[in-house]
Structure 1
Amino acid sequence: MEWISGKSSWRKGAIRTVYRLIHMTGVIGFGAMIGLASAVDSLHMKLLELAFLLLSLLLGLYIHTKSTHALIPYTLLIWTISPEIRRLLDWSFQSYSDTSIIMLTPYCVSLILLIPILKHFKRIDPRISMILKIIGAALIYGFFLGILKYRLSSVYELLNLAVPFLVLAYVHVSRFDSTVWDRWLRSFAYLAVIVGVYGIYQYLVLPPWDYFWMTTADMNSVGLPEPQKFRVFSLLNSPGPAGMFLGFALAIMIVQKKWRAFGIVGIMIVAFALLLTLVRVGWITCVIMIIAYFARSRLKSKLQLLTLGIIMVLAYVFILPALPGANQVTSRFSTLGSLEEDHSFNERLDFAKYIISDMITHPVGRGLGSSGLGVKLTQNSDTLAVFDNGYLNLFYSFGLPLGLAVIIMLGYLFLVLYKMSKTEKSYAPISFAAISATLFLLLGSNVLSGLTGYILMLKISLALTYTPLNRREM
């Protein structure tokens, strides 16, 4: 027994030593960067970007060791604020680049989730394991197919798609109780209110750093770089991600009181900011999630949803017309009734026809790095930065067999969560709402990647992990 006890103490001591070495290395590296920056002026900006990444990573490791349950809210925070930090630095140095070290920060911080996953890998049940094997096979195939041609773009897209599925595994192996899960969703709602408040401020004032970014990044679709004449993007990269972020948050805030931030006031702030993004798909997604939750929830929840729905409709009819920017919002939504006259809708149709013809000639796929934001890291002209159909993107990247396997896996998740939501009413309804939104959103873009994928997989993972044991502290 003494030998076993001694061995256990040795392991704990070794783990503590490793973490101390990581922290010490980070501090020394940070000091070296400051010294180098003071010697070479041209490196100032890149070194500050690297410093932000390093400090975020070190803080994430500290949170993992001291307060593991706060790791998910922390990663969500980093995902949310990183684009704005980048804009502040660009404005400070009056320099813009398509690539920035800061944009790697959310991925690097999210990789901390691998530590508990590897430590408790044996806890993963066969159902989660099957999902991870399918997406893992697709990612490995797509990576090796694209790495020789697209290089760093393939690495970036690998992270972009792999990180959201780490959340699925992390929630499953961490075995937190339901109070922690509620805290996660509530922290997401608080972040959404912050995004909403800043978005409204941004719309009314247009801070100089956001103005600088709009004029240098050639974001023509955002609108004129003048107050109240552009589509709000708040802390995020563009109106699209901002609209999706707010739409996801608004849905959970509406369906459950315990997941709200600042009550009805918080809901109205998020809803108004979502309107200012002019992202119709954000509202459609929110409605789909509410309807899916409505269909699988208890009677009491249905009555609450109906009441809130009436309040939202009344606010849209009577309050919205008196607010700044109302004409832009109402004209944008009026095109939903005449999609054949909608320019963006027609462009998507033409794009789908082009991709289908390309898939027929390249059934094995083009690999990771051939599409997505990562194409900015390569000079290859044979790439697509914007991909307007998520289903076709899966085939385009992974080929017909593995692309179909991923889609079947998502269909399997939909059926599993639908069945679970018949009996389990705590988290299965919101997980079912999330997979329903995923299947819809894939008609427009590959929402399995990046921040949208991260949020969707977080919601989906709750029902897949929930057991009676999660009702109490583990």
Structure 2
Amino acid sequence: MERIFGISTLRPGIRMFLYGLIKLAGVIALGSIVGVAGSIDSLHMKLLEFTFLLLSMLISLQIYAYRSNLLLPYSLLIWVVSPEIRRLMDWSFQLYSDTSIISLIPYCVSLTILLPIIKNIKLIDRRISFISKIMGVALLYGFCIGFLKYGLASVYDLLNYIVPFLVLIYVNVSCFDRDVRAKWLRSFSYLAVIIAAYGIYQYTVLPPWDKFWMVNAEMNSIGLPESQNFRVFSFLNSPGPAGVFFGLALAIMTVQKKWRGFGIIGMMIVAFALLLTLVRVGWIAYIIMVIAYFIRSHIRNKIQLLLLCVIILSAYIFILPILPGANNVTSRINTFGSLEEDHSFNERMSFSSNILSEVLANPVGRGLGSSGQGVKLTQNADTLAAFDNGYLNLFYTFGLPLGLAITISLGYLFVNLFKLSKTEKVYSPISFAAISAVLFLLFASNILRGLSGFILLFIISLAYIPKSSNGEET
């Protein structure tokens, strides 16, 4: 704890006083937790959820103090596994709830990165500072007009936006060796293979805790709660986030061998899990990132990418047809060639047309909490849980001026990373690929929030590790 807050550098009297305050705060916090949990039904379940929250936070503080380069991989792990922990908890107690303390764990753990940000804020790059100021003004504005109307939903929405952008700042101001980036990307791909393997197991067996969640969540769009009759979601909340997660991980594994977990076999596992999600956006993210990296990388990487594309195409033609669920997968992929006949695509176009009219009618925006999963925390009927156009979601939430400012700042990142990738040919190209994916995927959904935003801005940040760091890999 002394390393975390720098208490050991203070005078003995002040140090003892601070220790007393910390202990008093801990007693008050624990007493409040027990009191709140005791006033709610299912006492044991709430206490267990609080225990997971506190334990996760303590681990994150320990990692920051002694192995700070592992803080981002740990945060990503928590983002990915917490939905499954929640499902196991609900199934164990046979009690389903739309809201859970477990859902707060990824945000609380990720906010640990505020400690090094505050400590090293003077080291922030002017380009990252520019993006941060625009996003900070937009979030402050959105929260002010949203909190009065949507309450806790606006707080939840604020966390969904702010955590991914904190990652961008954190990587920029942290004094890591530059080769730590390769370790981060490898850990991402190893995690993706494990999550994909579970997704394949889930598809073939359907564990009872996942089935319990499917039945009670009433998400009819993911299929029937029967093995091989639903869209895979693995550890994640739904097939959508799972598809984007697998698509981004597969792109990382494709473009560089040194970032690949479990080799070609690992790639095939992730690719098959992505197919089982039936999420086209995941494949679009993958294709865009690979093409963007191909354009900006070394010539030898281009040759390797072409060979890998041949292998993946061959696997699709010869191996996929003999695997379970092949018919569902191929029929979904065939819709790429006839989008005008696809029901989902037509619904998205109709939704965008209607929302555009609402945005123009209310150019000041509706504020944070007006859309997204946080709407479950409010009783306000004037909200939208699903939003099928990310650009319009920005305008809908922050208003036309600030929505446009955020869009321009993303364009600024695109141009800047394009220039950086002319000279640095390993990490700048993958960051450029990530911002390219962001700009394209925003046409489908708001991928700047939550897990997808965390991953994409984490990849974008890799090009902005300070130049003073050493140990660059080539």
Post-superposition Cα deviations, 1:89-114, rounded to whole Å, max 9, x if no partner, equal: 11011111111111111001110000
Deviation at 1:28, TM superposition (A): 9.1
Letter in 2 for 1:436: S
Rate the CA distance shift 1:349–1:87 in 2: closer, same or farther, 3 A.
same
Rate the CA distance shift 1:204–1:28 in 2: closer, same or farther, 3 A.
farther
- Which residue pairs with 2:69 in the alignment? 69
1:399 pairs with 2:399: yes
Letter in 2 for 1:280: R
Residue correspondence of structure 1 range 39-438 to structure 2 within 5 A = 42-438=42-438
Deviation at 1:462, TM superposition (A): 1.1
Q: Which runs of 5+ in 1 are unaligned?
A: 1-6
Between the aligned partners of 1:117 and 1:79, the Cα distance in structure 2 is 20
Post-superposition Cα deviations, 1:2-44, rounded to whole Å, max 9, x if no partner, equal: xxxxx98437997899689769966996699689979997311
Normalised by the size of structure 1, how large is the TM-score? Answer: 0.94
Matched residue count: 467
Normalised by the size of structure 2, how large is the TM-score? Answer: 0.94
Rate the CA distance shift 1:397–1:51 in 2: closer, same or farther, 3 A.
same
- Which residue pairs with 1:4 in the alignment? none
Rate the CA distance shift 1:16–1:395 in 2: closer, same or farther, 3 A.
farther
Rate the CA distance shift 1:226–1:179 in 2: closer, same or farther, 3 A.
same
Rate the CA distance shift 1:11–1:360 in 2: closer, same or farther, 3 A.
farther
Task: Give the conservation status (yes or no) of the 8 Å contact 1:175–1:470.
Answer: no
Between the aligned partners of 1:398 and 1:307, the Cα distance in structure 2 is 44
Between the aligned partners of 2:273 and 2:16, the Cα distance in structure 1 is 45
Rate the CA distance shift 1:306–1:155 in 2: closer, same or farther, 3 A.
same
Letter in 2 for 1:257: K
Task: Give the conservation status (yes or no) of the 8 Å contact 1:113–1:170.
Answer: yes
Between the aligned partners of 1:461 and 1:404, the Cα distance in structure 2 is 22
Rate the CA distance shift 1:13–1:157 in 2: closer, same or farther, 3 A.
farther
Secondary structure of 2:410's match?
helix
Q: Which runs of 5+ in 2 are unaligned?
A: 1-6
Letter in 2 for 1:123: L
Post-superposition Cα deviations, 1:266-321, rounded to whole Å, max 9, x if no partner, equal: 10110111111111110111011000000000011111111111000000000000
Task: Give the conservation status (yes or no) of the 8 Å contact 2:69–2:176.
Answer: yes
User: Aligned Cα RMSD in Å?
Assistant: 2.4
- Which residue pairs with 2:442 in the alignment? 442
Letter in 2 for 1:184: W
Rate the CA distance shift 1:344–1:120 in 2: closer, same or farther, 3 A.
same
Letter in 2 for 1:321: P
Between the aligned partners of 1:396 and 1:388, the Cα distance in structure 2 is 12
Secondary structure of 2:319's match?
helix
Deviation at 1:361, TM superposition (A): 1.1
Deviation at 1:151, TM superposition (A): 0.4
Percent identity, please: 67
Rate the CA distance shift 1:27–1:76 in 2: closer, same or farther, 3 A.
farther
Letter in 1 for 2:148: L
Deviation at 1:126, TM superposition (A): 1.6
Task: Give the conservation status (yes or no) of the 8 Å contact 1:254–1:260.
Answer: yes
